[in-house]
Amino acid sequence: MTPDSDAALLAAVAEGRLEALRVLHHRHAPWLRARLARRCGDPDLVQSALQDTFVAVWQDAGRYRPSEGAAGAWLWTIAIRKLVSALRGRPAPVAAEAAVTESAEDLVLRAVEHGDLGTALNRLSPELRAAIRATVLDGLTVKEAARLLGVPEGTVKTRVMRAKAQLRELLT
């Protein structure tokens, strides 16, 4: 464990060293912010979720176990949950998606690049993709995903089921 590794810094934060939290913040805030911004179009909410994340890290750094995975992944699980609580029942304003204009050539290239699964995922409707992203990639519970997406829990479950069925169909 080198002294400036994430794990060492988190251990230092757990001992109450503010400087270590500062290094962690400078290292992780930019990508966490970008990743949060993809899930919520309101920059103020993203900013407040990010702030809550590092305040929570200050308080709970002692709970991080390096054996359970990279510090970045651990930070993300905190950040996404802080975003869910910053929403307080409102649905997340949809992140602005730049129009995807892909030529047929690009599409073919991408299919080669990412294989069938990538193509299949990209062909899901945005609602189904968002449900898969929240539950599978971000590891949220159905309840948390429902709050993030602003739909009832039942809807999240149905969407995840439909998305999986559709993926299965597209891949066979």
Partner 1 sequence: MNGWHVPDDLRAAYLDGGLPEAAAMSVEVHVASCQGCQAAFPVQEEWLEESWAAIADVVDRPAPRPLTRGLTALGMPEHVAVFLAATPGLTRSWLLGVAGALGFAVAAAHAADRSMLVFLAVAPVLPLLGIAAAYGARVDALYEVASAAPISGGRVLLLRAMAVLVAALLVTGAATPALPAFTAAWLLPSLALTGAALALGPLLAPHRASALLAAGWLAAVPAGREAVFGAPAQAAYAMALIPFVYLGARRWNRL
Positions touching partner 1 (CB under 8 A) are 6, 18, 21-22, 25-31, 34-35, 38, 47, 50-51, 54-55, 58, 69-70, 72-73, 76, 95-100, 110, 113-114, 117-119, 121-122, 124, 129, 133, 137
Which lies closer to partner 1 via its Cβ, residue 89 or residue 99? 99
**CB of 27: closest distance to partner 1 in angstroms?**
6
Which CB sits closer to partner 1, 43 or 154?
A: 43
Written as six digits, the tokens of 154 are: 């039942």
- DSSP assignment of 34-93, as one string? HHHHTT-S-HHHHHHHHHHHHHHHHHHGGG--GGGS-HHHHHHHHHHHHHHHHHTTSPPP
Q: How far is CA 5 from CA 1, 12, 72, 105, 152, in A?
A: 6, 11, 11, 42, 41
Q: Closer CB to partner 1, residue 22 or residue 154?
A: 22
Looking at the Cβ atoms of 54 and 64, the one nearer to partner 1 is: 54
Return the biggest CA–CA distance within the chain: 55
Closest approach of partner 1 to the CB of residue 8, in Å: 13
